[in-house]
């Protein structure tokens, strides 16, 4: 009887464990189903309203676009009543011979009084889409821009082409403010563009009342909201004052509004539409692809990659301008000094510098007195240097949106340029703790990490999926490392390794100890405190292999983040993720694709080989069995 009960209890435990696994799998599949359905709807929507060069949509009706391919063609024409003037001013004022894709349609839509969201890659010429209509309309155009420095750059440029433009911001003098406020309701319109910060709209009642007066007099031609994604908390640069801009459409309902951004997913745009109280905007999305940019990811094989960066700058980019993006102000100083020591003309740039120092660095770089700016994200909006030949990320960006925008500062002149990101294990967790309070910070960072960890998908395809675009890998034209070095990866069975490393975290947690990812690595590699070595199997994998496997397990839910907050800092520890329990099932297996360069002395079991691997294994005389042997031989078990 006792035996029967024991058996029943054992079976119950096992059934319960299996049920738990089934639940994890169901929730995974449901999550996947939601993602696939959303992608399917997006693809159907694109196919319905598709046209080759652009994807216009009436963003309020997702399933049936109210703005069709024919509508777009109509707005691409040049027989509107304003077309001659627009064309003449394009040449005479802006000194440009022809429009870039979607500029003409955007201008015609705006001149027709439509509300418009314009999503166009960084550096493709969004500003022209409101500056040219401003010149061809009565009255003035109100431009909301997030940074004073950005407005000043625009004003400097507009002054150089003799377009009267002014700005009202916190540092405007009383006299200037008075003159500008009077100018707004002057029928002779002394200026065609008025740049203000969103704070000014939120805080200055006087400005709002003058805007209403100008509106009633028919002198407010249109409103342009630059970097419109800043409205949305889901966007990558949320600014609280942008959230209050709905007042403009509420008080001035008939003024056409144009919202401009380089990067916004359809959800972010929907959010912006709601916040700005825009009823039925037309959304024009220029293809996100920048064919002249080469995208590459390199592994940091130790935490410092400055030597590699210096070598690239001295050799491949000799005498060419570029940007090196870093994580922090301190990194900007340190990396700039390190590059200087290697005879490279580099200067740091970050938010904590005096404005005059910042503008000096910018000027020196623009005039080629220095070759490289080593910058934090503070060096960004408003940077309009055409011949940037490289953008190197010393540390990964915190999201794909950020990466796209930062790397997009390369090659604005349409000449070829490189965008290289150095992918380091420790950096992931530094950034993770930085974005811990951001709404979707972890998810966005994971997307960026997945972009870097990816070895088999065209990098442009990954960006396209992220930005809800349809992409044909062949269009990459070998302008990313994956397409250029195709199939440079091996599919590995890492189940055994996953079990080993999960056991380390489990064992630590059973004695109430939390481990940082670095400590997990060290413990697994047999480094660090002796007590760790006692409770685990030390691996003979290389550090890069160990790091790649831990990242893979984190991205796929076998590990998850465990943050711990102190008054001064946030710590990142690894804990078991929702899928860790699956590893208890002997039938469960995990495979992972790894770059051959990471697998320098492969010890992990291969599941399949890419064509490149097959041929190179032959050349090197390697046999698959060698790997199995080495696995068996190299995994040590400590007493």
Ligand X SMILES: Nc1ncnc2c1ncn2[C@H]1C[C@H](O)[C@@H](COP(=O)(O)OP(=O)(O)OP(=O)(O)O)O1
Of the ranges 49-57, 117-125, 313-321, 463-471, which one interacts with ligand X (CB under 6 A)? 117-125
Within 13 A of 455's CA, how many CA atoms are on the CB side? 20
Interface with ligand X in residues 358-417 (CB under 6 A): 384, 386, 412
Question: What is the 3-state composition of the chain as percent helix, strand, coil, each rounded to the nearest 5?
Answer: 45, 15, 40
In terms of CB distance, is 124 or 532 closer to ligand X?
Answer: 124
Question: What is the rounded CA–CA span in Å between residue 304 and residue 384?
Answer: 29
Strands 489-493 and 591-595 turn out to be: antiparallel
Asked if 49 contacts 65 with a C-beta cutoff of 8 angstroms, the reply is yes
- Which of 55, 108, 127, 402 touches ligand X (CB under 6 A)? 127
In terms of CB distance, is 262 or 312 closer to ligand X?
Answer: 262
The CA angle 67-73-74, to the nearest 5 degrees, is: 85
In terms of CB distance, is 222 or 412 closer to ligand X?
Answer: 412
In terms of CB distance, is 147 or 247 closer to ligand X?
Answer: 147
Of the ranges 99-107, 167-175, 316-324, 356-364, which one interacts with ligand X (CB under 6 A)? 99-107
Question: What is the rounded CA–CA span in Å between residue 331 and residue 376?
Answer: 8
Told to check if 262 binds ligand X by CB under 6 A, we report yes
- Which of 104, 124, 459, 605 touches ligand X (CB under 6 A)? 124
Question: What is the rounded CA–CA span in Å between residue 417 and residue 406?
Answer: 13
In terms of CB distance, is 275 or 381 closer to ligand X?
Answer: 381
Told to check if 99 binds ligand X by CB under 6 A, we report yes
Told to check if 259 binds ligand X by CB under 6 A, we report no
Give 379's contacts (C-beta < 8 A, 6+ positions apart). 323, 325, 349, 350, 362, 373
In terms of CB distance, is 126 or 532 closer to ligand X?
Answer: 126
- Give me the least distance between CB of 154 and ligand X, in Å please: 8
- Nearest one of 71, 141, 82 to 111, comparing CA atoms: 82
In the bound complex, which residue of the shown chain has the CB atom lying closest to ligand X? 125
In terms of CB distance, is 100 or 584 closer to ligand X?
Answer: 100
Told to check if 236 binds ligand X by CB under 6 A, we report no
Question: What is the rounded CA–CA span in Å between residue 627 and residue 616?
Answer: 15
- Give me the least distance between CB of 106 and ligand X, in Å please: 11
Q: How many residues does the chain have?
A: 639
- Give me the least distance between CB of 310 and ligand X, in Å please: 27
In terms of CB distance, is 158 or 278 closer to ligand X?
Answer: 158
In terms of CB distance, is 120 or 339 closer to ligand X?
Answer: 120
**10 Å Cβ neighbour count for 66?**
14
- Which of 21, 105, 111, 120 touches ligand X (CB under 6 A)? 120
Which of helix, strand or coil describes residue 250? helix
- Give me the least distance between CB of 459 and ligand X, in Å please: 20
Asked if 503 contacts 547 with a C-beta cutoff of 8 angstroms, the reply is no
In terms of CB distance, is 265 or 432 closer to ligand X?
Answer: 265
- Give me the least distance between CB of 278 and ligand X, in Å please: 20
Told to check if 290 binds ligand X by CB under 6 A, we report no
Question: What is the rounded CA–CA span in Å between residue 395 and residue 303?
Answer: 10
Of the ranges 124-132, 133-141, 250-258, 354-362, which one interacts with ligand X (CB under 6 A)? 124-132
Q: Total binding residues for ligand X by CB under 6 A?
A: 16
Matching residue, tokens 């003309």: 345
Told to check if 123 binds ligand X by CB under 6 A, we report yes
Told to check if 76 binds ligand X by CB under 6 A, we report no
Torsion of the alpha carbons at 323, 326, 332 and 337, rounded to the nearest 10? -70
In terms of CB distance, is 128 or 450 closer to ligand X?
Answer: 128
- Which of 43, 96, 136, 581 touches ligand X (CB under 6 A)? 96
- Give me the least distance between CB of 244 and ligand X, in Å please: 22
Question: What is the rounded CA–CA span in Å between residue 377 and residue 362?
Answer: 14
Give 184's contacts (C-beta < 8 A, 6+ positions apart). 140, 194, 210, 211, 213, 214, 219
In terms of CB distance, is 134 or 538 closer to ligand X?
Answer: 134
Asked if 470 contacts 464 with a C-beta cutoff of 8 angstroms, the reply is yes
- Which of 122, 197, 265, 447 touches ligand X (CB under 6 A)? 122
Of the ranges 118-126, 273-281, 390-398, 490-498, which one interacts with ligand X (CB under 6 A)? 118-126
Question: What is the rounded CA–CA span in Å between residue 277 and residue 253?
Answer: 9
CB burial of 541-558 (b: ≥16 within 10 Å; e: otherwise) equals bbebbbbbbbbbbbbebb
Told to check if 126 binds ligand X by CB under 6 A, we report yes
What does the DSSP assignment read for 368-391?
Answer: TSSSEEEE-TTS-TT---TTEEEE
Beta strands in 464-527 (DSSP E): 489-493
Residues 418-457, mask of contacts with ligand X (x by CB under 6 A): ----------------------------------------
- Give me the least distance between CB of 127 and ligand X, in Å please: 3
> Which residues lie near ligand X (CB under 6 A)?
96, 99-100, 103, 120, 122-128, 262, 384, 386, 412
């Amino acid at each position: 009887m006792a035996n029967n009960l024991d058996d029943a209890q054992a079976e119950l435990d096992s059934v319960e464990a299996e049920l738990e696994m089934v639940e994890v799998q169901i929730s995974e599949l449901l999550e996947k189903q939601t993602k696939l359905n959303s992608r399917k709807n997006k693809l159907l929507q694109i196919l319905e309203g598709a046209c080759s060069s652009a994807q216009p949509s009436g963003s309020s009706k997702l399933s049936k676009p109210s703005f069709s391919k024919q509508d777009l063609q109509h707005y691409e024409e040049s027989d509107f009543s304003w077309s001659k003037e627009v064309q003449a001013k394009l040449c005479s004022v802006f000194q440009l011979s022809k429009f870039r894709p979607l500029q003409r349609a955007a201008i015609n839509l705006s001149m027709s009084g439509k509300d418009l969201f314009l999503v166009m890659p960084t550096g493709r010429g969004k500003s022209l889409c409101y500056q040219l209509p401003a010149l061809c309309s009565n009255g003035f155009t109100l431009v909301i821009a997030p940074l004073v420095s950005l407005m000043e750059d625009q004003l400097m440029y507009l002054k150089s082409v003799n377009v009267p433009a002014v700005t009202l911001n916190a540092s405007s003098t009383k006299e200037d403010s008075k003159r500008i406020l009077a100018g707004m309701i002057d029928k002779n319109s002394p200026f065609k563009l008025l740049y203000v910060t969103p704070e000014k709209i939120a805080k200055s009642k006087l400005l709002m009342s003058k805007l209403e007066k100008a509106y009633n007099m028919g002198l407010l031609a249109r409103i342009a909201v630059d970097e419109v994604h800043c409205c949305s908390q889901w966007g990558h640069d949320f600014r609280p004052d942008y959230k209050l801009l709905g007042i403009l459409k509420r008080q001035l309902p008939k003024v056409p509004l144009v919202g401009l951004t380089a990067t916004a997913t359809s959800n972010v745009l929907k959010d912006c539409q709601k916040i700005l109280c825009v009823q039925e905007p037309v959304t024009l999305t220029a293809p996100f692809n920048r064919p002249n940019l080469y995208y590459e990811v390199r592994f940091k094989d130790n935490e410092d990659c400055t030597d590699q960066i210096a070598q690239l700058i001295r050799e491949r980019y000799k005498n060419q301008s570029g940007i090196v993006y870093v994580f922090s102000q301190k990194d900007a100083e340190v990396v700039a000094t390190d590059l200087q020591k290697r005879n490279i003309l580099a200067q740091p740039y970050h938010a904590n510098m005096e404005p005059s120092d910042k503008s000096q660095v910018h000027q020196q770089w623009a005039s080629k007195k220095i070759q490289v700016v080593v910058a934090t994200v503070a060096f960004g909006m408003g940077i309009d240097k055409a011949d940037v030949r490289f953008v190197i990320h010393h540390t990964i960006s915190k999201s794909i949106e950020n990466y796209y925008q930062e790397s997009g500062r390369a090659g604005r002149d349409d000449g070829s340029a490189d965008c290289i990101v150095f992918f380091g294990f420790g950096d992931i967790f530094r950034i993770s703790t930085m974005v811990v309070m951001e709404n979707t910070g972890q998810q966005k960072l994971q997307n960026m990490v997945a972009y870097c960890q990816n070895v088999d998908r065209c990098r442009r395809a990954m960006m396209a999926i992220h930005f809800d675009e349809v992409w044909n890998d062949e269009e990459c034209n070998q302008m990313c490392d994956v397409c250029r070095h195709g199939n440079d990866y091996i599919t590995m069975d890492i189940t055994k390794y996953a079990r080993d490393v999960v056991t380390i975290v489990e064992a630590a947690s059973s004695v109430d100890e939390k481990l940082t990812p670095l400590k997990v690595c060290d413990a697994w590699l047999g480094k660090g405190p002796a007590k760790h070595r006692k409770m685990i199997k030390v691996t003979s994998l290389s550090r890069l292999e160990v790091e790649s496997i831990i990242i893979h397990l984190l991205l796929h839910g076998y590990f998850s983040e465990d943050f711990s907050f102190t008054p001064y800092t946030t710590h990142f520890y690894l804990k078991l993720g929702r899928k860790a329990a699956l590893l208890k099932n002997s039938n469960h297996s995990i495979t992972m694709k790894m770059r051959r360069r990471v697998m320098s002395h492969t010890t992990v079991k291969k599941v399949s080989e890419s064509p490149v691997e097959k041929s190179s294994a032959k050349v090197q005389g390697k046999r698959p069995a060698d790997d199995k042997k080495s696995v068996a031989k190299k995994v040590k078990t400590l007493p």
